Amino acid sequence: MNYSIAQESRVGGREINQDRAGWAATADAVLMVVADGMGGHLQGEVAAQIAVDSICERFRSEATTLLPDPARFLRATLDEVHHAIVRHAAACGIPTHDAPRTTCIACVVQNGQATWAHAGDSRLYLIHGGTQATGGVVHTRDHSVVQRMVDDGLIDRADAVHHPMRNRVFSCLGGQEPPHIEVSPPVALEDGDLIALCSDGAWAPLGETLVEELRRSPPAACVPALLDAAEDAAGPYADNLTLLVMRWQVSDPDSITLDGQRAVPPGRELATFSDEEIELAVAEIRRRIPFTPNGTSS
């Protein structure tokens, strides 16, 4: 598999960062996850950390080297995370109304397809064609009060941006109610496709310009630039901002592959490689570093 990944998380204008993000990989599958701890409840950052750690650990356990059923894995794992957070709250004696909660978006890429699942308003964007402005865009539908109002025709999208209830979600991991976990069908990936997972602090301030910014440059460059733009747009009271971006590339049939690793074709010197090719090589090395909990948080 050929891909590059970049991620970053910032505290914004808040006292602490309750967002968490991480990714894990085998030779044939990649998992990406972003969780946004809910600030109106105790230990939102703990709920988000439980989500990222648990999902990555279960992926490491079950993906050898592919997951038998990514959709089933995602649904079952997010449901288990919900119960793990509830158990944590009970063990800590936290009242139900204050119990830790988190939104979550997780995505598995394998066999040239992406499958994702989410609860809440952390989003996934799939941008076909990467930098090509004509490529189609898909993003998850928020499990939020404002999204329901838009769907019911009570407000339009412009009103939704500044609506006072825009941060109210009806599905999350943790809390009293079982989560509504929405799982996508598998979507075939094309060369250059971008997959972006982000908390609402990253997507909400930018609106439609988010996709334009994602198309501008490779993940390592576009992630910090996009978060800069989101922070500037949100102002001094910016929410926590987290963004994780993958660029997918179809394997080069002319390259030499040894044990799943892209090797240097004969006759090419290191100096002839582009920055993008070097970035891909770095990503290949990073994904083979053994997973540790500290490696998944931001």
- Domain 2-295, CATH number (from 2.60.40.10, 3.40.50.2000, 1.10.287.110, 3.60.40.10): 3.60.40.10
Single-letter amino acid code for the residue at 95: P
Residues 6+ apart with CB under 8 A from 34: 19, 20, 21, 104, 105, 106, 122, 197, 198, 199, 242, 243, 244
Four-residue CA torsion sign, 56, 58, 62, 66 = negative
Q: How far is CA 47 from CA 51, 99, 244, in A?
A: 6, 9, 19
Two tokens, residue 116: 């994702």
- For residue 226, the model assigns a pLDDT of 95
- For residue 173, the model assigns a pLDDT of 97
**Is the CB of residue 109 less than 8 Å from the CB of residue 29?**
yes
Establish whether the linkage from the previous residue to 65 is cis, with ω within 30° of 0: yes
What whole-number distance in Å separates Cα of residue 2 and Cα of residue 209? 27
What whole-number distance in Å separates Cα of residue 226 and Cα of residue 222? 6
- For residue 279, the model assigns a pLDDT of 57
Q: Using DSSP, state whether 241 is helix, strand or coil.
A: strand
Angle between helices 70-91 and 44-62 (to 10 degrees): 140
- For residue 132, the model assigns a pLDDT of 59
What whole-number distance in Å separates Cα of residue 179 and Cα of residue 195? 24
- For the chain, the domains span 2-295
**Is the CB of residue 22 less than 8 Å from the CB of residue 296?**
yes
Q: What is the mean pLDDT of each run of 10 residues along the chain (298 residues)?
A: 95 96 97 92 92 98 96 98 96 90 97 97 91 75 76 63 66 92 96 96 90 89 95 94 95 42 36 52 45 38
What whole-number distance in Å separates Cα of residue 259 and Cα of residue 285? 13
